[in-house]
Structures are given as C-alpha cells and as structure tokens.
Amino acid sequence: MQRSYRRQREAPKPKKNSNVYEFPNPTVLEYPAELIKRRRLQMLLHSCLYYCLDQNIWDDHTFDKNAKELAALMKEHPNAYSDRFDEYFEGWEGSSGFHLPHRDPWVLAAATNLIRSHEMRTTV
C-alpha cells in the first residue's frame, strides 16, 4: 500500500475588497436583529424588482404583510439593527418601497440575481 505524502494545498484566502459592502450579520439567536435585517433586505430587493426592473416575485399582499411587520419591528426595537441603508428606513411605516435606493449597485445586482434564480426554479 502506497501512501501519498503530498502536502495539502491550503485554499487561497479571499482578499478584502474595500469596494464590497459587508452587512452586519446578526445570528438567528439575535432576535429581532436578524429578522429586521432579513425584512429590510427583502424590501430593498422586492422594491427594486417592482419599481426598477418591472418584475415581481411577491404579490402585493405578501409585500404589504412583510413591510408592516418590518415597520412594527423597527418601531418596537429601534436600535436592534443598523446598516448603510438606515436613512431610507427612518420613520418608514411600510406603505411603499418607492423611495428605497433601487439603483444602488448592490441592490440592483442582488435583485437581478434574485430574479434569475427565481426564473431558473420556476422553469425547471
């Protein structure tokens, strides 16, 4: 029986790119921060799909339900979560996502990826 004594190569470590925004990442145990983060990102992406890309995955009822839940969570826990989109969610009551930054490069790229992923799942 021959043994291989080749050294295992270490995977290259990803380089930090200063142009890439990393969102704060609360864990599931950090309720309500994790849920607020998830709902905020959903509002950004689904608003971009609707207002910018003229597509939708959620119906109006689903958007409204999640938007109202987010507004209530942010009102009850105003300091639970913070990211670079804070200014767009200040005083937001969940009635519309029209004012959200649809043309932000991260939002637009993530919304485009979401719609591609959705189309792949629904056409298979």
Task: Report yes or no on 15 lying in a domain.
Answer: no
Tell me the pLDDT tens digit for each residue of 57-115: 999 999 999 999 999 999 999 999 999 999 999 999 999 999 999 999 999 999 999 99
Amino acid identity for residue 19 in this structure: N
Which distant-in-sequence residues (6+ apart) come within 8 Å of 56 by Cβ?
46, 49, 50
CA 34 to chain centre: 11
Domain that holds residue 65: 33-123
- The pTM of the full predicted model, rounded to 2 decimals, is 0.77
CA 117 to chain centre: 14
Task: Report yes or no on 46 lying in a domain.
Answer: yes
Task: Report yes or no on 17 lying in a domain.
Answer: no
Return the CA Rg of the chain: 19
Task: Report yes or no on 110 lying in a domain.
Answer: yes
Interatomic CA distance for residues 62 and 21, integer angstroms: 28
Interatomic CA distance for residues 110 and 123, integer angstroms: 20
Task: Report yes or no on 43 lying in a domain.
Answer: yes
Tell me the pLDDT tens digit for each residue of 44-59: 999 999 999 999 999 9
Task: Report yes or no on 28 lying in a domain.
Answer: no
Task: Tell me which DSSP letter residue 101 carries.
Answer: -
